[in-house]
Structure 1
């Protein structure tokens, strides 16, 4: 069939030419240019592509199905012939398929199974600007495979908007860039904020009717972009209630391919359409005939949820770049109208964050280990994985026994590879065979991944009601798919092993009752649920959903667990170990022998004798936790001297700041612990002497020379220098009676003459008269006024007119 001309057509030859000579390229094509469906078909007959198939990567399942269907139609074929698609749990391909449209996670599995990608000639990353975690990982692995194994593999990254500098940094500065402008008409924008106290769907329906009756847009179809299927269904019901001369169509991932394709086409009877779509309509597909866009201003994005330990979709306000992209949908085929369902002054963030910066990185850590990478810097990332998040992901995998200490897959980790799910759930599916509970594990994993179970806190009861349903919903289909992988029938005989299964996936969330409704988790934190629930009185439970990561968390869903079954799952819980706890109230260490899992104690007995080393370590940890050390004033003087030397001469001198010493207690204080087992005894130790003894003889002599404790003054006295201000980057202070400094023209200096002391001139009553760094200037300019004010008050003390020629003294005038 004849194809309508699109802007990308003028760039197809340039794309062919570039990929004929280069293995990497960037395509920046404005929305509506036709890049998704025209570019892959144009590449199929290129010489480099004839020996293998082409993979087109789409960020969403709906986009993958629709793109495959549209391209197959252009060839006059059915999906599964030349053009097919593949995604988790669904595939339509055949022996003649040369172009596969796949979701981004499929590419990672293909690369992991076959890094050579045999039979694949090229990869096309579509809508890369959405920056999903799977797209970032897929590109990093593809680049690694291309560089080391497949130099002939073509990579084309394309999008409406691209961070070109960041992409060139990983693809290479010489990577060709093809730019294709779109076809866009003027779009009028109106704002229609909704009232949060009124029914949302009713207000949205009123805006739809307003838009359809707007002057100049009477013949155009309307596209309403909503965050999810629930919102689509509610608005569809509201529109059905009204008398309308338009047809309501839905566009989302739960529809069949035929229903999705029908939503994109104009009504054959010429009626106006109102297409209710998820964010799939923002960039991945074009809805023919649309002149009006109504934007709810929300999007569902994947966000890691600590309460479940899984990544779920979360509804949040759309970012400005996405809002502008949605607005542009109204101007594809003529002048358009966009109604935004928020206030014009509502601030929007400029861009969405790459998913890699906000996601749970345990799955990424698992894929890196499977790829054989221990250092993520070995791969080229558009946005490198944050170190802290990656470390947390690896820590979880080690706790699950999926990774070893070198971040390599263990035997259990290798067995988990077969499951297309989160690693913690893969552990449950793998180890379920030991419990003869594979069917139940498949049902549990599908339930946790596909939907929230409302209302019931007891997961066993909630799951029981779901298993009794005879519907063919998403979670039942996913459960059957997992059962096929497991090689079992989905026939759940008993829910008895449920607690054990969940303890395999969530070992850190096993909780022990301290009192009704309050539980201590394996990691030591507390978690609570209402006392009036049956689970509040369980001795042990597994918290599947909870909020809060520190301190006390609320349990949303859990299942009870027996201690006998916990011991069978984790044999290490049968081993006795010494547990020492510091008692702040008693100021000493208390010890006992316990067995259990982490902070969950299944049995305990008294400890006859506490190991001396353990007592000392507990003492040091108590000091660290307190955050202070019991320094005397003399100790602070010594530390101030050292702080001054370190500030002037650098690392040649040790760091004796409180923070540094607390970090290094094992290297300087532990040496002097003997029989102390109480904190107050430790506080009486001569800490300053220990620090001084840590210096060798030459260093101690140098300390006395460069920062002496006392300085001689003209009266013959030796006056102590106050170095405590140096602990806070201040100056050393010399405080002396004014009469003792007569004749002293030059301010004394320390540390090889580099640091002048701050002189505090005192009255005979040792009250401050003047502070100066320049004695000569003081004698000349400040002293006359001081003499005038003080000699009447202290007549027995000398106040000569010329202090520079007077004899310094610490005494009063001689009696006559």
Structure 2
């Protein structure tokens, strides 16, 4: 590798961050970790990598959250260095690489570096890693911070720098540093050019059940056109922020008649189109209106922008735990993102931001976006961590912990794939899947599907689903046919991805394997068997499908004609919705029932199912595909089938389907108290415990129910008595008696607390006069639980609540006596309750006895 120094003076000409390089050097002289915070456009991405390269002979790797940003940053630095791209400065992104053995600075996406570390965990040829745009809190960047922390423990010569425009510097510094000493922070601030804020709220709603409304897109387009007309500077452009690629294209289409140079900027565009926008324009060329997704918030610099039109909407991942899905939703952009967007107008001079909402709505928006780690599907992340040797992130210093629910779902998926073992460690299969640059489920489908269909078709499907290609009407098969018949940069990128994926498919003679796109659904079904779906409703507006997982989702277009679908992407209905299903199928392929069985035979069941109608068991033989019922006929089950079906029905419906008699309910309460206070051998009688072990206590009753006995006629008292532990059961009535004898001679029933109220106490409600002279509060459960007394008036109304009778007679009783003796003069209210005879009668009757 060449060690020739970079000319920092020439590279940094006109960049304000050049003034901060001495501070960066001083911080790196003192340690190997650093946090840099500086606004967009100051030059940190351009200057810090060559500065580090001038201090060490090895390679400097710079991560970016997006491919277009990695390419643009590399191209810009190579241009300033005066060297061809791919020599001293290069880049590596998915499907594209421009580096050689002499490359000193390599820009990569975070995902590329993560997978590189699986093969080179020590990063032996790398001297420094710069994590750029950390404020975006991309999942892969967060994971890199944790992994690089472990590498630095083994390599004291590895430098790690985190950079961002709006960084929570102290928090990141604490993670990059040690428990005792956080990493130093270089905070570079420059006077901002003046920014004029204008508000242009839409008269129409921005969002409805279908997503972004057409009226709002019209409003954004009109606002952008008006902004362009207001610009006096012929070199100035307008930048419009929209939430997603669809909205970008819709706004661009509305602006085409203006005669302006309308450009789109989003991740689905070919690299050449993205690069053309970033390079800017000559002064003699037409003014541009650039419509962009969040891509241009901070990762990229779009030159010439003096007005920003902000829709104030953003698209971000959101996990739906109930449906077991993660999808993109459109919602209010955070104020932090809006500030980033506005800053693009003041890069080169005074600028203006026009926000398409009012000030009240802006103030109510979230302060900052949620980190991806909190909202994304963690399957790929969990596999990478398992391969790294940190199952579930154990031992890593992460900015935020992995959310428990999402992590649990991810680990279950990986176990089903055979990618991890019971301890969460990667298997050989798991390590092989992790090296395929796609989601682990698609990686598994690629490997297994190559033996069922033509390997190229398998690679085509996986490349399509792994990329950014837009699918007409969500139809995978139609998209592949279109890509096969087209030319262009986007098709070239997909074709390159296909060739790359082919290296991981099954080799050998494939002439007898299906190559038609009709088999594309089989690959999808192999990846996502729980998303195999059957049509359950058809309307003029589309169709509704039931997925094997139990979720209902809608779809429009040609796919609505298919009886069965293999669904690759389903999300909550923040976009287009069919038939009011509440979820939308975003990507799918038609599939036959036979293909579904081939892909997911483990989901097929054929058994007797029982349900309770009017509290009586009704049995049907059902053939199911997960939650999808393929056939259902009433049957008289065999005894074994009937009991098994009853068990499932009770566990599904719960114990509330029985009528609990007072005796059964009281027995359960008494047992619950002893289990809570004494533990074993007294049984757990919570709903969960009883449902988990029905045979241990409900065996004979299960047989009766299977034969048709109504649930309402089942007496649970003898069933619960089967749980009494022998020989300890002999002392049950002493430890938890049904009744308590009070001094008057009455035997009063003890009201035990419900089984699901662990903090409640057993209560005895008794007339106050029946307890005269009683000093020692009785205790249950071997003396562990004092009885709580509700002392009543002669009319049965509560006068006092106490579990300390001695204290009551010595204190509060005098006040009760003063208030009650006139109201109940026929009953005794002695001054000295200690010497009075306890009675449940009036004074006159007590005297006769």
Instruction: Give the TM-score normalised by the residue count of structure 2.
Output: 0.79
Structure 2 residue 360 is the aligned partner of structure 1 residue 345 = yes
Q: Which residue of 2 aligns with 1:328?
A: 343
Counterpart for residue 18 of structure 1: 27
- Please name the residue that 2:472 is paired with: 454
1:495 paired residue among 502, 511, 517? 517
Q: Secondary structure at the match of 2:344?
A: helix
Residue of structure 2 equivalent to 1:112: 118
CA deviation profile, 1:665-708 (whole Å, cap 9, x unmatched)? 4696368879555555754442553455468279648626xx78
Deviations, residues 75-108 of structure 1 (Å, cap 9, x unaligned): 1122112111111111222332211111111111
1:450 Cα deviation after fit: 2.9
Change (3 A) 1:370 1:686: same
**What SS class does the counterpart of residue 122 from structure 2 fall into?**
coil
Match of 2:153 among 136, 147, 151: 147
Match of 2:190 among 182, 190, 193: 182
Offset from partner CA, 1:96-128 (integer Å, 9 cap, x none)? 221111111111121122223232221110111
Q: Is the 8 A contact 2:553 2:581 kept in 1?
A: no
2:270/2:489 contact within 8 Å kept:
no
Mapping of 1:19-34 within 5 angstroms?
Answer: 19-34=28-43
Instruction: List runs of 5+ in structure 1 lacking aligned partners.
Output: 792-796
TM alignment of 1:426-445, pairs within 5 A? 426-445=443-462
CA contact (8 A) 1:8 1:38 kept: yes
- The answer on 1:81 being equivalent to 2:87 is yes
**Aligned with 2:296 (options 265, 277, 281):** 281
Is 1:419 the equivalent of 2:428? no
Distance 1:439 1:673, change over 3 A: same
Question: Structure 1 residues 13-22 or 549-558, which shifts more?
Answer: 549-558
Residues 1:562 and 1:483: Cα distance change in structure 2 (over 3 Å): same
How much has 1:357 moved relative to structure 2?
0.8
Which residue of the partner structure matches residue 542 of structure 1?
566
SS at match of 1:108: helix
Q: Are positions 1:37 and 2:15 aligned together?
A: no
Are the structure 2 counterparts of residues 696 and 257 from structure 1 closer, same or farther at C-alpha, using a change threshold of 3 Å? same
1:408 is displaced (CA, Å) by: 4.3
Q: Does 1:579 align with 2:591?
A: no
State the partner residue of 2:739: 709
1:781–1:407 distance in 2 versus 1, CA, 3 Å: closer
Query: Residues 131 and 163 of structure 2 are in contact (CA less than 8 Å); yes or no, is this contact kept in structure 1?
Result: yes
Task: Quote the offset at 1:61 in angstroms.
Answer: 2.0
Matched, 1:471 2:471: no
Q: Which residue of 1 is the match for residue 162 of structure 2?
A: 157
Do structure 1's residue 626 and structure 2's residue 623 form an aligned pair? no
* Deviation of the 1:319 alpha carbon: 0.8
SS at match of 2:297: helix
CA distance in 1, matches of 2:171, 2:682: 42
The separation in 2 between residues aligned to 1:754 and 1:572, in whole angstroms, is 51
Which residue of 728, 734, 742 corresponds with 1:696? 728
Q: Spell out the pairing of 1:101-500 with structure 2 (5 A cutoff).
A: 101-148=107-154, 150-171=155-176, 172=178, 173-196=181-204, 203-204=219-220, 206-208=222-224, 211=227, 221-228=237-244, 231-232=247-248, 235=251, 241-242=257-258, 251-253=265-267, 254=269, 256=271, 260=275, 263-265=278-280, 267-269=282-284, 274-303=289-318, 314-346=329-361, 347-410=364-427, 412-448=429-465, 449-455=467-473, 460=477, 462-463=478-479, 466-467=482-483, 469-472=485-488, 474=490, 477-486=493-502, 493-500=515-522
**CA distance in 2: counterparts of 1:767 and 1:29, whole angstroms:** 75
- Classify 1:571/1:609 alpha carbon distance in 2 versus 1 (closer, same or farther; 3 Å): same
- 1:610 Cα shift? 1.3
Structure 2 equivalent of residue 794 of structure 1: none
Counterparts of residues 669-688 of structure 1 (less than 5 Å): 669=697, 677-678=705-706, 679=711, 683-687=715-719
* Pair 1:775–1:338, CA change in 2 (3 A): same
CA distance in 2: counterparts of 1:531 and 1:322, whole angstroms:
33
Which residue is equivalent to 1:508?
A: 530
Tell me the alpha carbon deviations over residues 467-519 of structure 1, each in whole angstroms, 9 at most, x when there is no partner: 56323363563144223441599999523423422321221223467898887
Secondary structure of the structure 1 residue equivalent to 2:517? coil
1:93–1:768 distance in 2 versus 1, CA, 3 Å: closer
Shift of 1:156: 0.9
Residues 28 and 160 in structure 1, CA contact (< 8 A), matched pair in contact too: yes
Of 267-276 and 601-610, deviating more is 601-610
Gaps of 5+ in 2: 1-9, 206-213, 574-579, 803-807
Secondary structure of the structure 2 residue equivalent to 1:84: strand
Corresponding residue SS for 1:669:
helix
Q: 1:249 touches 1:263 (CA, 8 Å); kept in 2?
A: no
Q: Distance in 1 between matches of 2:440 and 2:472?
A: 25
Deviations 1:229-278 (A, max 9, x none): 5555555565553477xx66655553655973664446344976655444
Change (3 A) 1:592 1:28: same
Residues 50-87 of structure 1, C-alpha deviations (whole Å, 9 max, x = no match):
1x211111112222122111111111122112111111
Match of residue 91 from structure 1: 97
Tell me the residue number matched to 2:805: none
What number of residue pairs does the alignment pair up?
Answer: 791
Counterpart-to-counterpart distance in 1, 2:455 and 2:692:
50
Report the CA distance shift for 1:270/1:602 in structure 2 as closer, same or farther (over 3 A): closer
Deviation at 1:434, TM superposition (A): 0.8
Q: Shift of residue 37 of structure 1?
A: 0.3
Q: In 1, distance between residues paired with 2:611 and 2:487? A: 56
